[in-house]
C-alpha cells in the first residue's frame, strides 16, 4: 500500500465513511479511491490534500508539517496500531471532529522525530521529520542529530549544492575521506577531510576546481560527520 493511500484509508475509516461517500465528495469514482488506498494507483500530493480536505481533515499542524509530510515519512499502516488509531479518534473528539496533523504526530510519538535544520551560524531555519528506531536516528540519540543547510556551492564537486540539506551526526573524531562539519571563524563549514601524516589534515572543497588547505589536526575542531544528503531535484 502507498503511504498517502494509507493516510486516506485511515482518515476515511476514522470518520466511518464509505469509499463511495468519499468519491462523491472528491468528484472521482469509488474505484479510484479504492485503487489509491490499495496502492495500485499513484496519487499526486496536492490531489491527496484535496480529498483529505473534502473529508474535513485540516492541513495545519502545530509543528508546521503538512499531512503528506507525515504520510511520506512513515508507513502509517504499520506504524499505527489499532489502539493508537482509537487514541487518535478520541483525541479528535469523535466522528464529526476534524483531526489535524498535530494529532497524528501525537499518535506517532516514538516513531517520528522533528529534526531541526540549521544554517552556517547555527540558526534554526526549518525542520524535517525522520523515522526513529528505539529512540535513535543513524544509531545516535534522536535529539542530537540535525540538518546543516549548505550555504554555497563550495562542495559542488562532492554533489553538495547550495540549499541542500546534510544530515549531521555529532562527532569529534576525524574520519578519513568523509564530509565533516568543522567549526571555523566564519561559522560551521563542511569539508572533505583527508588524514595526512604527522597529525595533519587536508581540508578540501570543490566548486569549479579543487581547493585545499593543510591544517594541524590539533587546530581543527570537528563537530560532526555527514551521514546523509537530501537535495532538491
| Residue from 112, 118, 106, 119 nearest 137 by CA | 112
| Residue from 136, 10, 116 nearest 63 by CA | 116
Q: How confident is the model at residue 89, as a pLDDT? A: 53
What cell numbers appear for 34 in the block?
479504492
Task: Please measure the distance between the N-terminal and C-terminal CA atoms of the chain and give it in whole angstroms.
Answer: 25
Length of the chain: 233
CB atoms within 10 A of CB 224: 23
pLDDT in tens, the chain (233 residues): 456 777 788 778 878 889 999 999 999 999 999 988 877 787 777 788 888 888 877 644 334 555 556 655 555 555 555 565 565 555 555 544 444 455 555 556 567 788 999 998 899 998 888 888 888 899 999 999 999 999 999 999 998 999 999 999 999 999 999 999 999 887 899 999 999 999 999 999 998 888 999 999 999 999 999 999 987 65
Q: How confident is the model at residue 61, as a pLDDT? A: 39
Q: State the Cα–Cα distance between residues 37 and 27, nearest whole angstrom.
A: 16
Q: State the Cα–Cα distance between residues 166 and 46, nearest whole angstrom.
A: 27
- In this prediction the pTM is 0.63
The alpha helices in the chain, defined as continuous H runs, are 3-14, 19-26, 30-38, 45-55, 67-73, 76-79, 82-91, 101-107
At residue 20's C-alpha, the angle toward residues 14 and 23, to 5°, is 90
Q: What domains, with CATH codes, occur in the chain?
A: 3-107 (1.10.260.40), 145-230 (2.10.109.10)
**For cell 479504492, what's the residue?**
34
**Count of alpha carbons within 13 Å of 208, Cβ hemisphere only?**
0
Amino acid at each position: 500500500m502507498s503511504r498517502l493511500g494509507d493516510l486516506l484509508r485511515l482518515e476515511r475509516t476514522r470518520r466511518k465513511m464509505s469509499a463511495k461517500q468519499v468519491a462523491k465528495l472528491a468528484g472521482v469514482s469509488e474505484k479510484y479511491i479504492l485503487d489509491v488506498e490499495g496502492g495500485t494507483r499513484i496519487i499526486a500530493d496536492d490531489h491527496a490534500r484535496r480529498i483529505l480536505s473534502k473529508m474535513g481533515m485540516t492541513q495545519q499542524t502545530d509543528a508546521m508539517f503538512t499531512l503528506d509530510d507525515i504520510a511520506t515519512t512513515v508507513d502509517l499502516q504499520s506504524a499505527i496500531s489499532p489502539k493508537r488509531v482509537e487514541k487518535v479518534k478520541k483525541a479528535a473528539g469523535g466522528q464529526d471532529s476534524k483531526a489535524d496533523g498535530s494529532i497524528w504526530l501525537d499518535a506517532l510519538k516514538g516513531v517520528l522525530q522533528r529534526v531541526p535544520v540549521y544554517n552556517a551560524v547555527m540558526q534554526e531555519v526549518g525542520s524535517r521529520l525522520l523515522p526513529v528506531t528505539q529512540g535513535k536516528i543513524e544509531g545516535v540519540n534522536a535529539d542530537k542529530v540535525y540538518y546543516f543547510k549548505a550555504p554555497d556551492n563550495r562542495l559542488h564537486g562532492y554533489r553538495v549544492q547550495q540549499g541542500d540539506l546534510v544530515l549531521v551526526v555529532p562527532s569529534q573524531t576525524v574520519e578519513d575521506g568523509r564530509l565533516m562539519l568543522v567549526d571555523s571563524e566564519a561559522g560551521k563549514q563542511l569539508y572533505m577531510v583527508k588524514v595526512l601524516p604527522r597529525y595533519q589534515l587536508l581540508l578540501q572543497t570543490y566548486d569549479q576546481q579543487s581547493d585545499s588547505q593543510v591544517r594541524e589536526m590539533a587546530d581543527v575542531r570537528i563537530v560532526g560527520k555527514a551521514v546523509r544528503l537530501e537535495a532538491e531535484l
